[in-house]
Amino acid sequence: MAKAKSENAKKPMTKQDLWIYVKRYWQLYLLLLAPMIYFLVFKYSPMYYVLIAFKKYSIVQKVSEMPWAKNNGFEYFIKAFKNKDFINALRNTVLLNLFDLICGFPVPIIFALLLNELKFKFFKKTVQTVAYMPHFLSWIIIYGLAFQLFAPTNGLINMIIEKLGGQTIHFLDDPNSWVKTYIGVGIWQSFGWNSIIYLAAISGISPELYEAASVDGANRFQKMWHITLPGIRPTIVVLLILALGNIMGSGFDRVFAFQNNLVMKNAEVISTFVYKYGIKGLQFSLSTAIGLFQSIANVIFLLFANWFSRKMGERGIM
Amino acid sequence: MKNKVLSIILTGTMVASLAACTPGGGENPPAGGGTEATPIPTVDQNTYSGSEEEIVGGSSSELVDGKFAETRHITVEIYDRGNDGGSDPTNNMYTDYIKKGMMEDHNVEVEFVKVPRWTETEEINNLLAAGTAPDICLTYSYPTIQTYADMGGVIDLQNLVVDNKNDLPNLWKWLDQTNMYWDKSVQDGTLWALEGKRANNNRIVTYIRKDWLDTLGLEEPTTREEFYNCICAFRDNADTLLGKDAKQMVPFSVSSDVGWRAALLIESFMDPDITDKELYVNGFDDRKLTQNGTKEAIRLLNQWYNEDLMWKDFAIADSSTEDDMMKAGYVGAFMHNWDYPFRNGEDSINANLQRNIGEDAKFVAIDCFENSKGEYVKYCDSTAGDRKIFFPTTNDEPLASLLYLDWISDPVHIEYLQVGDEGVTHEKTADGAYTFMAATGDAIMNSGQNIDMTITCNGLHLSTEELTLASLANNYPPCDPADVARANEVANNGKKPTKNAKITSIEAETGMGEALNGKRDIIYDTCMSCAPEEFDAQWDELMSDYLISGGQDIIDERTEKWEAQYGDKVTLD
């Protein structure tokens, strides 16, 4: 039966069939046109300009007229990789993102699991709302809060530590403590928001499974471990793949807001490096080259993570 | 069919986006408008090196009585300082004055385009790259102009200013050849920008809390040692001076820009007999990082920092936080722009102190950083080197734009823009000097003395020097004119203006400015705040990184070019 159906579907469409099909559904295709144009104009056509990475940029010439860069066009890639500040920025980008992933990825999952166990609805909703609020704050404001809390002389936390007889902790201006503060604040800002998708996945799990488990005498922890977690596993995998695809990327404003001169050896990342050398230093070819490198590395990570998850028997994202 | 439509749309958008991304198209507007009536001026080779020889100029045939036959339209950059309660930078009493005057005198319609003051370099970059820059651009950053000039995005002004000289009497008179030709290339005679002139090139002054000195029975310090003793006394008597806020005490405050906020101290460690050559070679860093005494200066700051004489939050706080601490009366001494505590009228630091602390609470200027010869040298800029004015190639009204510059350089117009209307922004004292008053609404000047409007003139410039000096002191109500006069005096004591070495474009500097400035600030901040025993190791490591990352290349190229031009000579005329 199934076989016959698939054969039927494979049968080539005649011209008449096509005509009927188009006549019936043309509005849908017309609707599709708008997003297609959007992608072509704003996402695909700008890709042409990655050529700038291989050319000597000039403001008054068309991309096609600009002369090719030295070393078969790879001058700016070589220049970037010879620059130890770039290597340092690359290292920091990967490390900070990795720490973010390791420390930050499990938090919303755990939070969602805990929240799911709450029976008192009003309390659950309140906690959830309070937790995802920071997501809507800009990083500049968050830095302002962090400064008020963590500054060495007048920060609230340090004042408490001193009152208790402790030593001032340089949360924001010591390179190593800075990394912890940066990661911590990042988790605080995002875990509530990120848990929403897990909560949605949890609510999709059939209650019958829980009822059956209860009948079998499972306790709450066992239900969480054997039903809830496996139930949201596909969601976790998809989000993990997406997160891995971003391991070389870096948002600009979070790092930029938290940077200061005393922590630069750990705080300079690719995006701020590009801002400093490329935009402020007017080296457009160099910044394009670095941007291109970053995108390609991200795609490679994404494909690898996807391949790996399929190997492990998950569905992956493509 | 559908495919065809789609491809047409797509091709259309592609073409449009291509066109949008390549502004100017390399098409330079004709220099000078109409110059056929005037003889082509012969520019003597000597004028390239800035000699004061008379330049024979021409005038444009397009103008009748200085007016265009048809109304022309130009756009002019104006800084937006985003002041709380300021007036609209593009539409206020002063822009109206300019618009009206330009229309009446030259039949030119002026439109102002605002650019945020504190991100001006980035913003003007974006505007230039997009081909939407105003006809008259100004920036503090010459490298920005040079970069776009190298790409063919800037108009060469050389012939324009000479061919139209007779139509530009005020501009030539005010800027003089010094400022007109400051940026003129020795190699090919190109002139990408005109240097606005500083009517006042005061730079930086040290300030101390006079009332604290009085409370503790101390004299105003006149040497580095005495200054150190004063700030130690502030620290040790925090309870007396601040009572319950004693913990907030900051005897000597600097921000993360140590090189600027401790400049006088750093410069006092320089060799008093430093040659012009050395000044030039290391002059690429305006915070004196690579000069010979800087390491010891920072070592002293490091000592002070570790003796709890300085502010621990300096690296992570922004300047407004520091201002607030000064206003709240927690800061004992600091160095900053010569008029810093008087700026912003009722919201100035000194006005706040008087309100918050008491009548006699104020910062006063002191002169206390002597060099090894006991002199109080103030390295400062020449009259040039301030704002640079240039025309992007998208400017198709170069003559009208030059007439604008001429109009804005007329002493009468400068004076009006700086003092405004009597009874609104100023009153006159018995001896004729202006006293300034807090204006409201449209009459508020967004920048001191309206310097954002008088783009060819920075600083108060009135008809006579006496009037200027007397009025300058009155320029900061409600601050005491005597304090301002004193600060002006200190700022002028031992002034040493930069000389123009006339060596243009150091290739090693291209695109390195921001990166090296960033590294410099890291060196200053790290070495000032590290533990004393780590100082040498930190300084040497970071400094060698700075030199490897491009600093040494610049020093070498500058030395080489100096020697190529001047041989063994180490002093400029």
pLDDT digit string (tens) for B62-97?
Answer: 888 889 999 999 999 999 988 777 889 999 999 999
Counting one residue from chain A and one from chain B, the pairs whose CB atoms sit within 8 A come to: 109
CA A58 and chain centroid, separation: 33
Question: Which residues, listed in sequence order, are joined to residue B331 by a DSSP beta bridge?
Answer: B250
CA dist., res. B357 & res. B355, Å (int): 6
* pLDDT for residue A9: 55
* pLDDT for residue B448: 80
Give me the mean pLDDT over the B20-26 stretch: 38
Residue B492 lies in a domain: no
Return the residue in B10, B124, B287, B316 with the most chain A beta carbons within 10 A, the one to mutate for interface testing. B316
* pLDDT for residue A10: 59
* pLDDT for residue A11: 67
Worst-scoring range by mean pLDDT, A252-256, B58-62, B229-233, B544-548? B58-62
Q: Are residues B219 and B321 in the same domain?
A: yes
Residue B490 lies in a domain: no
Give me the mean pLDDT over the A36-41 stretch: 94
Q: What is the mean pLDDT of chain B?
A: 87
Q: Are residues B534 and B403 in the same domain?
A: no
Closest in B313, B522, B526 to A152, CB measured: B313
Give residues 457 to 516 of B whose Cβ lies within 8 Å of A: 511-515
pLDDT above 50 for B46? no
Q: Do A85 and B515 touch (CB under 8 A)?
A: yes
Reduced 3-state DSSP string for A124-163: HHHHHHHHHHHHHCCHHHHHHHHHHHHCCCCCHHHHHHHH
Nearest CA in chain B to A85: B549
Last residue of a domain, one of B443, B467, B491: B467
CA A102 and chain centroid, separation: 13
* pLDDT for residue A211: 93
Q: Are residues B431 and B448 in the same domain?
A: yes
Q: Does B240 lie at the interface with A, CB-CB under 8 angstroms?
A: no
Q: How confident is the model at residue B14 (pLDDT cuts 50, 70, 90)?
A: very low
Q: Do A151 and B316 touch (CB under 8 A)?
A: yes
Return the residue in A173, A282, A285 with the most chain B beta carbons within 10 A, the one to mutate for interface testing. A282
CA distance B130 to chain A (A): 9
Give me the mean pLDDT over the B480-509 stretch: 89
Q: A47: closest CA among A317, A244, A243, A299?
A: A299
Q: Does B530 lie at the interface with A, CB-CB under 8 angstroms?
A: no
Q: What is the mean pLDDT of chain A?
A: 89
Give me the mean pLDDT over the A135-159 stretch: 92
Q: Are residues B74 and B176 in the same domain?
A: yes
CA distance A230 to chain B (A): 45
Last residue of a domain, one of B449, B467, B485: B467
Q: Does B518 lie at the interface with A, CB-CB under 8 angstroms?
A: yes
Give residues 41 to 80 of B whose Cβ lies within 8 Å of A: none
Q: Which residues of B touch A63 (CB under 8 A)?
A: 18, 21-22
Give me the mean pLDDT over the B213-220 stretch: 96
Tell which phi-psi region holds residue A5, choosing left (phi > 0), alpha (psi between -120 and 50) or beta: alpha
Residue B30 lies in a domain: no
Closest in B153, B315, B514 to A276, CB measured: B514
Tell which phi-psi region holds residue B378, choosing left (phi > 0), alpha (psi between -120 and 50) or beta: beta
Worst-scoring range by mean pLDDT, A103-107, B186-190, B361-365? B186-190
Q: Are residues B406 and B305 in the same domain?
A: no
Q: At residue B164, what is the residue type? A: N
Residue B342 lies in a domain: yes
Q: Does A41 lie at the interface with B, CB-CB under 8 angstroms?
A: yes
Q: Do A277 and B515 touch (CB under 8 A)?
A: yes
* pLDDT for residue B129: 83
Domain-by-domain residue ranges, chain A?
A: 14-53, 55-311
Per DSSP, the three-state class of B335 is: strand
Q: Do B248 and A49 touch (CB under 8 A)?
A: no
Q: Does B328 lie at the interface with A, CB-CB under 8 angstroms?
A: no
The DSSP annotation for chain A comes to -HHHHHHHHHSPPPHHHHHHHHHHHHHHHHHHHHHHHHIIIIIIGGGGGGGGGGB---TTS-TTTSPBPTTTTTHHHHHHHH-HHHHHHHHHHHHHHHHHHHHHSHHHHHHHHHHHH---HHHHHHHHHHHHGGGGS-HHHHHHHHHHHH-TTT-HHHHHHHHTT-PPP-TTTSHHHHHHHHHHHHHHHHHHHHHHHHHHHHHTS-HHHHHHHHHTT--HHHHIIIIIHHHTHHHHHHHHHHHHTTSS---SHHHHHH--TTSHHHH--HHHHIIIIIIITT-HHHHHHHHHHHHHHHHHHHHHHHHHHHHTT-----
Closest in A60, A147, A286 to B152, CB measured: A60
Name the more confident of B11 and B65. Answer: B65
CA dist., res. B495 & res. B376, Å (int): 9
Residue B483 lies in a domain: no
Q: Are B138 and B195 in contact (CB under 8 A)?
A: no
CA dist., res. A200 & res. B456, Å (int): 63
CA distance B152 to chain A (A): 7
* pLDDT for residue B405: 96
> pTM of the predicted model, to two decimals?
0.79
Angle (CA) A106-A203-A243 rounded to 5° is 30
Q: Which residues of A touch B247 (CB under 8 A)?
A: 153
Taken in order B218, B224, B225, B231, is the CA torsion positive or negative?
A: positive
Backbone dihedral angles phi then psi of residue A269, each to the nearest 5 degrees:
-115, 175
Give me the mean pLDDT over the B418-430 stretch: 88
Q: Are residues B298 and B225 in the same domain?
A: yes
Q: Tell me B528's DSSP state.
A: H
Q: How confident is the model at residue B19 (pLDDT cuts 50, 70, 90)?
A: very low
Q: Are residues B280 and B372 in the same domain?
A: yes
* pLDDT for residue B10: 45
CA dist., res. A284 & res. A302, Å (int): 27
Residue B482 lies in a domain: no
* pLDDT for residue B261: 95
Q: Are A318 and A82 in contact (CB under 8 A)?
A: no
Q: Does A21 lie at the interface with B, CB-CB under 8 angstroms?
A: no
Q: Does B246 lie at the interface with A, CB-CB under 8 angstroms?
A: no
| H or E stretch at B102 | helix B93-106
Q: Which residues of B touch A49 (CB under 8 A)?
A: 21
pLDDT above 80 for B41? no
Q: How confident is the model at residue A154 (pLDDT cuts 50, 70, 90)?
A: confident
Q: Do A264 and B522 touch (CB under 8 A)?
A: yes
Q: How confident is the model at residue B512 (pLDDT cuts 50, 70, 90)?
A: confident
Percent residues over pLDDT 90 in chain B = 61
Nearest CA in chain A to B520: A261
Q: Which residue has the tokens 């490198």?
A: A293
Q: How confident is the model at residue A212 (pLDDT cuts 50, 70, 90)?
A: very high
pLDDT above 50 for B433? yes
Q: How confident is the model at residue B21 (pLDDT cuts 50, 70, 90)?
A: very low
Here the CATH number for the domain that contains residue B191 is 3.40.190.10
pLDDT above 70 for B530? yes
CA distance B174 to chain A (A): 33
Q: Are residues B399 and B345 in the same domain?
A: no
For B90-142, the pLDDT digits (tens) are: 999 999 999 999 999 999 999 999 999 888 888 888 898 888 999 999 998 88
Q: Are residues B210 and B344 in the same domain?
A: yes
Q: How confident is the model at residue B476 (pLDDT cuts 50, 70, 90)?
A: confident
CA dist., res. B424 & res. B461, Å (int): 19
Give residues 124 to 183 of B whose Cβ lies within 8 Å of A: 125, 128-129, 143-144, 147-148, 151-153
Give me the mean pLDDT over the B311-319 stretch: 89
For A50-70, the pLDDT digits (tens) are: 999 999 887 777 888 889 998
CA dist., res. B320 & res. B485, Å (int): 26
* pLDDT for residue B246: 92
Q: Are A177 and A146 in contact (CB under 8 A)?
A: no
Worst-scoring range by mean pLDDT, A45-59, B51-65, B204-218? B51-65
Q: Are residues B213 and B167 in the same domain?
A: no
Q: Tell me B406's DSSP state.
A: H
Angle (CA) A284-A287-A291 rounded to 5° is 135
Residue B42 lies in a domain: no
Closest in B9, B153, B315 to A37, CB measured: B9
CA distance B359 to chain A (A): 28
Q: Are residues B242 and B98 in the same domain?
A: no
* pLDDT for residue B551: 94
Give me the mean pLDDT over the B219-232 stretch: 96
Nearest CA in chain A to B26: A60
* pLDDT for residue A127: 93
ipTM of the complex: 0.83
Nearest CA in chain A to B526: A262
Residue B573 lies in a domain: no
Give me the mean pLDDT over the B363-378 stretch: 95
CA dist., res. B554 & res. B513, Å (int): 11
Record: fold of A55-311: MetI-like fold (1.10.3720)
Burial of A29 (0-12, 13-18, 19+ CB in 10 A): exposed
Total domains in the fold of chain B: 2
Q: Which residues of B touch A60 (CB under 8 A)?
A: 22-26, 151-153, 393
Query: For residue B71, what are the domain limits?
Result: 60-199+387-467
Q: B137: closest CA among B68, B197, B194?
A: B194
Name the more confident of B403 and B18. Answer: B403
Residue B469 to residues B200, B460, B475, B485, Cα–Cα distance (Å):
10, 9, 10, 8
Give me the mean pLDDT over the B251-271 stretch: 95
Q: How far apart are the first and last CA of chain B?
A: 76
CA distance A164 to chain B (A): 16
Name the more confident of A153 and B337. Answer: B337
* pLDDT for residue B54: 67
